[in-house]
Structure 1
Amino acid sequence: MSVAFGGFLLLILSGMPIFFALGVAALLAVLLLVDVPLTIVAQRVYGGVNSFSLMAIPFFVAAGVIMAEGGIARRFVDLAAALVGWITGSLYLVAIVTGTGLAAISGSGSADTAAVGSILSPEMRKRGYDMDMSAAIIAACGSLAPVIPPSIIMVIVAITSNLSIGAMFLGGVVPGLMIALALGVTCWAYARRRPDGGGDRQPFSLGRLGRAFVAALPGLTLPVIVVGGIVGGVFTATEAACIAVVATIVISLFVYREIGFRDLPRLFLRAISLSAAVMIIVSTASLFSWIIASVGAPQALDAWIRGVTDDPIVFLLLVNVLLLFVGMFMESISAILIILPVLMPIAQGYGIDPLQFGVMATLNLSVGLITPPYGICLYVAAMVSGRSVEQVSTRVWIPLLPMILVLALTAYVPAVALTLPRLVYP
């Protein structure tokens, strides 16, 4: 197995796309370690994406792309500004509230980061905000998308671990809101001690809030329909994703009228491109994870961990450190498909609820979206803000601290992740 992992790491370090590195490393393992015909490669690659539930991914991506350009994101920003614009460091808080709202629609961290950043970054620069801190906060807001439902990563976790997608979605609600609250408190405290953001507050106006709420109401109905429909058993996650696409098109075309029919082909092509990149990673990662299971890696890792500790608290600490490290260098979906099938049975052997473990893993890898060197949300936020990743990285530890605090609570206080799912799925 060291041949496969060594080849994978070497290809990643050489700058190869991650799907290519996964595919080549898996092919090497098939040739050298597993006595099966090469046709198994094609079968496993196809089998990795031959799932009705996975069809939710391209539709959620399309909903996020249309939302970003169709006026929904801008209405969310206006509502957030009316709600928290009177607080010190208001634009930081506007970014957090907006990111939380958009996360409940798209499920894509990079799309949410781009939407929030493109709208708020110019205004932050104009008002004299620290742009490195602003980009770090915008990236952290984007990282809420995998945690707050509907979440593309949670769909992958549920399918990989044979869990209910609706239960996974509910499991992310409390940790996601806790992160948003913790980020808000952190930004408020930061802005009070810094000159930027201290004098940009606008007086609170109930009338302004009411007008912004009415304008944003069509978009606000989307998460209620999507998540409520899944949890209530009205439709599956894939059907919910289709409904989200139709709803975003209708709202963008006929309510906000910020895009026209001529824009749809361009938006669909962009969604297809993003979805294809995700699905090819899913297919090659599923082949890689099958090979890991075939050579007995889960059993070997289980024996090693139990040789180190029998304490579930120490086990969770080891897993969190491992996932934080992996998230720094690997795309989240690939990490889920490769690592989770190995760790989930071990976690259950320690008496850890699989739903809690799945939510914890999702939250952990969402942290990886803003950690250098890989963090995709960090890259998007830096690009939109006109800063380099190195410059933004000097501030990224500030939102990282509250995120890791909530991660620790999710890992060691099961009620954080399990209370809502247990109310609906007793």
Structure 2
Amino acid sequence: MSLTIMGVFFVAALLGAPLAWALGFGAVAGVLASGFDLNVLPSRMMNAVNAFPLMSIPFFVLAGELMMRAGIMERIIALANTCVGQVRGGLAHVTVLAGMGLSTVSGAAVADASALGATLQKPLEEHYGRGFAAAVIAASANLGPIIPPSGAMIVYAFMAGSSVSVGGLFLAGVVPGLLLVGLMMAMCSIMARRLGLKPTGAGFAWPAFLAELRRSFIVLMMPVVVIGGIIGGAFTATEGSAVAVVYALLIGFLVTRQLTWHGLVESIQSTVITTAVVGAMIAFASAVTYMLTIDLFPQQLATFLKGITRDPLVFNLLVALVLLVVGCFLESNAAYIMLVPLLHPIALEYGLDPLHFGFLFVLNLVIGMLTPPVGVVLFVVCGIAKISVGEISRHIWPFVAVMYGLLLVCMFIPGLVLWLPRMAGY
């Protein structure tokens, strides 16, 4: 059946059908030709989304939406500006640090791109030009799925099964995430010197820094409470996501007092749309995965890969190469749902650590969100900055190169990823 699906898809693509229509036509024709009993698919799809761990996705999305409307951006940016606003290209450094702060709240690159773009695009554009400003925003927003809490890691852990812990994956992203922040700031410094950019803030002063830190302390405590509770075993990831929503509501209504009832309704509406899309993708992808499984496609793929190499490192490099191509053409959530059930069990057969492989998988697809032609973060930032994908692509490549460099370092030095999870007992 797998060969039938792929064969019809290939013929349809050759005849000039658009990729999406070719894929749909190939899949339907292949299933019908195989004589597969379609009655089993609805129950499979329902069971795929009827899972307690998946409830963490809408709760974390809602928490991020609420925090965006609660006025936290102004506080995070002000705190970052007191730290690095005085250095060359300081506003670019502020953007990276603001992206890091937002990533501990939302866990989603698209949400961070929208928040950073709406707030910082115009100031950055005034000082540094439109292309560089948009590239810095896109790169900073991409920290969202790497630094916990990460929606991408939750999806990966669910699709991978019991061998991967959400808390363990969260911790696996901490050290590489902080390294990436440092590397991005170093890249901003290099590019600032090349472009002759000027400082945009006053010199560092402890009184101003401490004043902004006190004002932002309650916001910065959110990831400590939520992630610390999940890792410490006080509650599960799903319960922690609900705690995050309550925390966001308290901050928005009682601390910053910028969250309104209208904003709450808009946050819920946005969360419903996002959750519906992710849920539908999981349901339909589970049906395809089930059909591939009964056709023994995972076993065939494992045999094929082992015929190429039995070296785990070479397997990791092959997967990275595949995900590099996939990330350029496939939306990341679809890639997790389709590929994790296929590649994760094979990685275990190679003796790879599930947390290490899982983090590399997530980081690889996160980078794909910055690569054209289907880089979703690029499209969001382009819409805000009103520039073309080609223009932002000329400025984004140094940041993409930095992220791929970190990917290779983490691949060859697993301790960077596994040290913190091992310290916590994962």
Q: TM-score range by the shorter chain?
A: over 0.9
CA contact (8 A) 1:135 1:381 kept: yes
Structure 1 CA distance, aligned partners of 2:178 and 2:53? 26
Aligned to 2:42: 42
CA contact (8 A) 1:27 1:41 kept: no
Report the CA distance shift for 1:350/1:40 in structure 2 as closer, same or farther (over 3 A): same
Aligned to 2:300: 300
CA contact (8 A) 1:22 1:285 kept: no
Letter in 2 for 1:345: P
Cα offset, 1:379, TM superposition: 0.9
Report the CA distance shift for 1:85/1:237 in structure 2 as closer, same or farther (over 3 A): same
Aligned to 1:154: 153
Structure 2 CA distance, aligned partners of 1:6 and 1:241? 43
Cα offset, 1:14, TM superposition: 2.7
Aligned to 2:323: 323
Aligned to 1:386: 386
Aligned to 2:166: 165
Letter in 1 for 2:174: V
Alignment match of 2:18 (pick from 14, 20, 24): 14
Cα offset, 1:53, TM superposition: 0.4
Structure 2 CA distance, aligned partners of 1:363 and 1:63? 23
Cα offset, 1:22, TM superposition: 7.6
Matched, 1:176 2:180: no
Cα offset, 1:60, TM superposition: 0.9
CA RMSD of aligned residues (A): 2.1
Report the CA distance shift for 1:178/1:236 in structure 2 as closer, same or farther (over 3 A): same
Report the CA distance shift for 1:80/1:47 in structure 2 as closer, same or farther (over 3 A): same
Report the CA distance shift for 1:13/1:108 in structure 2 as closer, same or farther (over 3 A): farther
Unaligned runs of 5+ in 2: none
CA contact (8 A) 2:138 2:381 kept: yes
Structure 1 CA distance, aligned partners of 2:255 and 2:398? 39
Aligned to 2:136: 137
Cα offset, 1:199, TM superposition: 3.9
CA contact (8 A) 2:86 2:199 kept: no
Aligned to 1:189: 190
Report the CA distance shift for 1:188/1:5 in structure 2 as closer, same or farther (over 3 A): farther
Cα offset, 1:3, TM superposition: 4.2
Cα offset, 1:145, TM superposition: 1.3
Aligned to 2:79: 79
What pairs up with 1:8-407 in 2 under 5 angstroms?
A: 14=18, 16=20, 27-33=28-34, 36-127=36-127, 129-161=128-160, 162=162, 163-195=164-196, 197-407=197-407
Cα offset, 1:26, TM superposition: 5.2
Moved more, 77-86 or 226-235: 77-86
Q: Deviation per CA, 1:351-393: give whole Å up to 9, x if none.
A: 2111100011001110011111111111111111221112101
Structure 1 CA distance, aligned partners of 2:111 and 2:3? 36
CA contact (8 A) 2:91 2:199 kept: no
Cα offset, 1:97, TM superposition: 0.7
Q: Deviation per CA, 1:44-89: give whole Å up to 9, x if none.
A: 2212211100011111111111222210122111111111111211
Report the CA distance shift for 1:267/1:123 in structure 2 as closer, same or farther (over 3 A): same
Unaligned runs of 5+ in 1: none
Structure 1 CA distance, aligned partners of 2:246 and 2:179? 31
Letter in 2 for 1:135: A
Q: Deviation per CA, 1:87-125: give whole Å up to 9, x if none.
A: 211111111111111111111110011111111111112
Secondary structure (helix, strand or coil) at the match of 1:39 reads: helix
CA contact (8 A) 1:88 1:201 kept: no
Report the CA distance shift for 1:15/1:311 in structure 2 as closer, same or farther (over 3 A): closer
Structure 1 CA distance, aligned partners of 2:400 and 2:215? 33
CA contact (8 A) 2:78 2:212 kept: yes
Structure 2 CA distance, aligned partners of 1:297 and 1:425? 35
Structure 1 CA distance, aligned partners of 2:17 and 2:418? 38
Structure 2 CA distance, aligned partners of 1:90 and 1:5? 51
Report the CA distance shift for 1:184/1:238 in structure 2 as closer, same or farther (over 3 A): same
Letter in 2 for 1:177: L
Cα offset, 1:152, TM superposition: 0.9
Structure 2 CA distance, aligned partners of 1:292 and 1:214? 54
Structure 2 CA distance, aligned partners of 1:44 and 1:30? 16
The number of aligned residues is: 420
Letter in 2 for 1:302: A
Letter in 1 for 2:33: L
Normalised TM-score (structure 2):
0.93
Structure 2 CA distance, aligned partners of 1:122 and 1:14? 37
CA contact (8 A) 2:183 2:402 kept: yes
CA contact (8 A) 2:8 2:30 kept: no
Moved more, 22-31 or 147-156: 22-31
Report the CA distance shift for 1:84/1:21 in structure 2 as closer, same or farther (over 3 A): farther
CA contact (8 A) 2:281 2:337 kept: no
Secondary structure (helix, strand or coil) at the match of 1:370 reads: coil
Structure 2 CA distance, aligned partners of 1:49 and 1:277? 12
Aligned to 1:415: 415
What's the % identity of the aligned pairs? 36
Structure 1 CA distance, aligned partners of 2:129 and 2:416? 33
Secondary structure (helix, strand or coil) at the match of 1:275 reads: helix
Report the CA distance shift for 1:25/1:419 in structure 2 as closer, same or farther (over 3 A): farther
Cα offset, 1:262, TM superposition: 3.0
Normalised TM-score (structure 1):
0.93
CA contact (8 A) 1:96 1:183 kept: yes
Cα offset, 1:29, TM superposition: 4.3
Report the CA distance shift for 1:313/1:298 in structure 2 as closer, same or farther (over 3 A): same
